[in-house]
Each structure stands twice: as structure tokens, then as C-alpha cells.
Amino acid sequence: MKVGTTSLTYANGRLNLQKFEAICRVLSDLCNQGREMILVTSGAIAVGADTLGLNERPRDIKGKQAASAVGQAMLMQMYRQFFSLYNRRTAQILLTQDVLDVDIRKTNARNTFNALMSMGVVPVVNANDTIATEELDDISDNDRLSAHVAVISQSSLLIMLSDIEGLYNADPRTTPGASVFRDLYGITPEVEAAAGGAGSALGTGGMSTKIQAARIAMGEGIDCAIASGDDPAVLWKLLAGESVGTVFSTFQQGGA
């Protein structure tokens, strides 16, 4: 599961502690069901900016790296504390572009994921923004990163939580009557045209990057879903087969 910055903060940029707790509670319960869960999280730069008293994300690379260095430690501390309420352990994994590009490093990452999950640990993944600059432009939106993590870990499903219900056929903020695509069996020009730009001043991703992530994952046979992060309980509904959000299926409609 991938959660974005806008799902972890209020509109004023301050941290939404209720949301942190709810995410950890739902993921812990899914682990109790016997599922293996990986959490790809944004938020290090936003947490750092909040801690440093900044009104918005820094715009320069050095500022982003500094905010990430401050925020990543606090972000993990919060996840550890909330997961521990439900007797669930966590581990931090920070990825860089070279892990995605070099097969042996990709294999090492896969082995680490497998070992942690076999121990009942929830891997918490982010891009290593503090030492590398390319991730800040390429995968630190964490949508594409989450797709690569799904591929590396050989996951069966990638769920990306967003600040809206799913992929709409038009911008719901400006188009009354816009509706959500529920079940998609491929990424068509219509789907691409429906994807918007970047989100809030605190986040970096938008529907466009989620579509790119879905293409990466589906290319490896991994189903995807985009759902609202307003209530993390949506994960229970998705995994129970309820019609929520937008689901990208690798099976053709009517297929087995």
C-alpha cells in the first residue's frame, strides 16, 4: 500500500495523527489475517517542514534534502509508535534509483522484503531523498516507487491511497457530475487523458503518476487500485471485493 503526503496531513500542512493511527491499525489487522503488507509512505519532507516551522515544502534540492533528513527519523518514530499499539513491528527501507537499475541489488532488496515479512514485520519504504537528488524528480512522488516495490517484492496487488475517491473521467473539482472509473482492464488514451497534474503544495504526485505506476505494475501482472485515503478502512472493503475506488485488473473483462 502506498500513502501520499496529502493523506497524512491536514490542509494546513500539520500532521494528521488520527490518520497515522488508522493506517497502522488497518494494516496490522490485515497482517493478523495472514496477509503480507508493505507500506510505501510519503511524508518525510512534509514532516520535516512541519518540524522546522516552514509553511510549505522547500523548493530547492538542498532544502528538500534537509527537511527529509529531519522528517524521515520522525516519520519512522511515529509509525513505530502507532504500529506498536497493535503489537506489530516495523522496519525502514530507503531505496535509491540504483536498486531499480542493478539486478543484484534488486534481488537483495527482494530477499530483505521476504525475510522481514516472514518474521511478521511491516516494511516501511521511502525514497532516500537525503543523499540522492534523482529520486526527488523521478520516484519520490512514491507512486512509481510503490509500483517498483510491488514488482521487486512480487506482490499480487498495489493499492495507492489518494486525496480523492479514484480516477475520475473529468476533474471533479471543476466538472459537476464527473464520475469515477470503477473497473479498468487497461490504460487507454481516455484513461490517460483523465489523469490530472500534481496535487497539493505539500505533495508531489497526482493522478498522472498513479497511471504511470499502474502501467509499471500491470506490465508485471500486478493488479492496482486507487482509493480515497480519507478513511483507511477502505482497504478492508477493497480486499473484501467491494466496489470502491478504481481497480486496474490485469485480467481481461470476462476472462478467468
**Contact assessment for residue 36 and residue 231, using Cβ atoms and an 8 Å cutoff:** no
Name the CA radius of gyration of the chain, rounded.
Answer: 17
User: How far is 167 from 234, CA to CA, in rounded Å?
Assistant: 15
Give the pLDDT confidence of 101-137 residue by residue, as tens digits: 888 999 999 999 999 999 999 999 998 877 766 544 4
CA separation for the pair 33, 120 (Å, rounded)? 12
pTM: 0.89
| CA pseudo-torsion sign 5, 11, 17, 21 | negative
CB-based contact 95:125 (threshold 8 Å):
yes
What is the pLDDT averaged over residues 33-41?
96
Q: Where are the alpha helices (DSSP H) in 52-119?
A: 61-84, 97-101, 103-118
Give the tens place of pLDDT for each residue, 184-214: 998 888 888 887 644 443 333 478 889 999 9
The residues with which 246 forms a beta bridge, in sequence order, are 226
Each residue of 146-198: pLDDT tens digit? Answer: 999 999 999 999 999 988 888 988 777 788 888 889 999 988 888 888 876 44
Contact 52, 70 (CB under 8 A): yes
Q: How far is 256 from 242, CA to CA, in rounded Å? A: 19
